Structure 1
Amino acid sequence: MNSIIYVGMDVHKNTYSLCAVSDATGEILAETKITADSDLIAKFIENARDLSGNPEAQVKTGYEAGCLGYSLYWELAARGIECVILAPSTMQKPAKNKVLKNDRRDARNIATNLANNSYKSVYVPDHEDVKTKEYIRMMGCFKTQLKRIKQQINAFLLRLGLRYPGNSRWIPAHLKWMNGLELEPEFREILDEYLSEYDSLSERIERFKGRLEEMAQKERYKEKVEQLRCLKGIDTASAMTIHVETSDFSRFPNAAAYSSYCGLTPAENSSGEKNNRLNITKMGNSMIRKTLIEAAQVLVRGTIGKKGKKVKAKQKGQDVKVIDYADKAVERLQKKYHHMIYRNVNRNIVITAIARELACFIWGIETGHIS
């Protein structure tokens, strides 16, 4: 049986710190710091093999998930070099790291985790999913900018002592009110510039949504996205976000594992007879978690068990089993919401609980567990 050399890589934009560890002895074979170049990694691996005395030794490399995304993984895979991306939250880290931390020690720690198998690897989606994921995240960035410009407009008008008399903001009546305000020329110019930016961002986001609708019609996405849309609160954009960001639902053995991946399960700090539940872990994919929270906000509205025209339209043409499953899920979650609110549970906690269970129902649709 060939020995294995584990190469830990602490990667940054311009430099990589490398550390090679032998599985046979646990000794450090080589350490170095190089410029960000996969050719130099390949040379380092050959040198580590020579130092181990076994030129045919297997090599396993790894780096923490971070700024490089999957790019280095693909570069090394193209060279036939085995590579894994380590989830930082799952790695074992020495207590000394809190007082003494540098790139060399980080590379050593990554190599040690590889050798001890004390980590969980990040799932690497295929290239098509990555392209779609990046498009969705780009749209998310523009949504964040739109939210910020809304806040800036509201703050500007409040500083002028102007308050909108209606209830709902950013509807045609609210926009008409702002455009009709009589202000001093300088203030009017400022507000017009803000509104111009608001209109520009709104138009671009609508264009992005249209493009995403086209992507959702691809064969690889269409069936599951349309099934997810049977759930109240899930539209095409949120269905695509959840489906693409997760990529492969079969890697989760059960619904609880998926909700944990979304970071929606509560943390725990218990000892002896004391059981202390904390806030949610917020580990895993933040995009999915945010989307589920937003979907839960919509799902709990309305009368329990009553479907609106929009939901009926989305369910048209779908499998009866999927529709029944989605309706039962929504009714259960709405009842749970009202029950927890009646018990005076904080609404944010309630919405998070609804989002956590919604993730479980989504896992059921994606994996076919709808009986």
Structure 2
Amino acid sequence: MDVHKNSYICAIYGKTGEILGETKISSDIKLIEKFINNAKKKINEDVDVLAGYEAGCLGYSLYWQLKEKGIACNILAPTTMQRSAKNKVIKNDRRDAQMIATNLANGSYKAVYVPHDHDVEIKEYIRMMNDFKDESKKVKQHINAFVLRLGYRYGGKSRWIPAHIKWLRGLELNSMYKEILDEYLSQLEELTEKIERFQHKLEELSQKDSYREKIGELRCFKGIDTTAAMTLHVEVSDFNRFPTAPAFASFCGLTPGEDSSGEKNKRLSITKQGNSLVRTTLVECAQVLVRGTIGKKGKKVKSKQLGQDVKVIDYTDKAVLRLQKKYHQMILRGVNKNIAVTAIARELACFVWGVETGHIA
């Protein structure tokens, strides 16, 4: 099925290798069921049917609807599907449906992992919170640009702390400019309060029986707070589906690409395939992890480790020490800071996999 918001293009690929039927229908699960039953009548024998569609705007909703009807379904990861050269030259919905059916028949794809319902709920909650964080960043950018256009420059080291907000509110502006700045600051204050409320709710959710143990263990890492731990845990859902730590790092899109031929070996930038939110979260955690003195644990890290298993604490402390040393060695060699942080994020992903799967020996 090539699925869109208001319509589905369906194609059935038979055992003998030909397209047995095609149709364009509205986005109604009953019409899919009807199309499958009609195709079975044409074949005139009892066969198993496997439905599939590319991961996209519909998320898991169609998968769950088909499952309720007793129809087996896979969600295909777009980057793993085989595509003919002709499909790249002439592309339309009909050809896409045929291509998806062919991949289903040949098994030339990887299915997207479908998480549990409660994981999806929290995943959507975290994404909603991130949307508000993005809005907050935009408002801050607007304020910075507005104040700069008026010729004012903040002399402090850190922005958006109480001292910076006090400085903004104390600027002597004419009535119109003052009104504009007050509106911006009011919007920022409202967004900040909402984000704090979301984070408090996430703290409560992390204390549920299904999350408490693993979230507590992940928080033992320097740089991983409750929000980051919950994001990693629910976005991946089942870490055991990755046989090795490098396989998980590859899923995150943190492994370098390659363009080699013959004796020529060329490494590219990271693939950026897989889950972008997990990748971004790991990079942000790595940025915090490499700060400060190597091997020194702050009060915040110690408080997060209270009550945790000694083996987990020992494992995470050794991991942080190794990553901090590696980062500083790379910087001393002249490696670009962003490249170094990405390398640390890739290795941090491996250590996260170790905690989630129990490989901490």
TM interval, short-chain normalised: over 0.9
State the alpha-carbon separation in 2 of the partners of residues 195 and 52 from structure 1: 67
1:3 alignment partner in structure 2: none
- Corresponding residue for residue 21 of structure 1: 13
State the 1:98 CA deviation: 2.6
- Residue 214 in 1 paired to residue 204 in 2? yes
Paired AA for residue 291 in structure 1: T
Q: How many residues align?
A: 361
Residue 302 of structure 1 corresponds to which residue in structure 2?
Answer: 292
TM-score, length basis structure 1: 0.96
1:164 aligned partner, one-letter code: Y
Q: How big is each residue's C-alpha offset from its partner over 1:158-180, in whole Å with a ceiling of 9 and x where there is no partner? A: 11121100111111111110010
- In the TM superposition, 1:233-244 aligns within 5 A as 233-244=223-234
Distance 1:184 1:270 in 2: 63
Q: 1:52 maps to what in 2?
A: 43
Provide the rounded CA distance (Å) in 2 between the counterparts of 1:339 and 1:269: 27
Secondary structure of the residue aligned to 1:129 is helix
> Counterpart of 2:89?
99
Partner of 1:4: none
For residues 81 and 142 of structure 2, the distance between their equivalents in structure 1, rounded to whole angstroms, comes to: 41
Partner of 1:153: 143
- Structure 1 equivalent of residue 319 of structure 2: 329
For residues 168 and 83 of structure 2, what CA distance do their matches in structure 1 show?
54
Given candidates 19, 23, 26, the residue that maps to 1:35 is 26
1:138 equivalent in alignment to 2:138? no
CA–CA distance in structure 2, aligned partners of residues 333 and 208 of structure 1? 31
Letter in 1 for 2:123: K
1:83 matched to which residue of 2? 73
SS at match of 2:49: strand
Partner Cα separation in structure 2 for residue 242 and residue 315 of structure 1: 18
**1:126 partner letter:** H
Q: Tell me the distance in 2 between the aligned counterparts of 1:344 and 1:190.
A: 45
Q: Which moved more, 1:269-278 or 1:321-330?
A: 269-278
Pairwise CA distance, 1:157: 1.1
Structure 2 residue matching 1:317: 3-state secondary structure: coil
1:119-150 CA-to-partner distances (Å, cap 9, x unmatched) read 00000011111111111111011111111111
Distance in 2 between residues matched to 1:131 and 1:352, nearest whole Å:
29
Output the CA distance in 2 between the equivalents of 1:280 and 1:50. Answer: 49
1:108 and 2:87 aligned? no
Amino acid corresponding to residue 109 of structure 2 in structure 1: Y
1:121 aligned to which of 111, 119, 124? 111
Quote the offset at 1:156 in angstroms: 1.0
Q: Distance in 2 between matches of 1:183 and 1:285?
A: 46
Q: Which consecutive aligned stretches of 4+ in structure 1 deviate over 6 angstroms post-superposition?
A: none
Q: Amino acid of the residue matched to residue 79 of structure 1?
A: K
Aligned to 1:11: 3
Match of 1:170 in 2: 160
**Cα shift at 1:47:** 1.1
In structure 1, C-alpha distance between the alignment counterparts of 2:205 and 2:282, rounded to whole Å: 21
* 1:256 corresponds to which of 246, 263, 275: 246
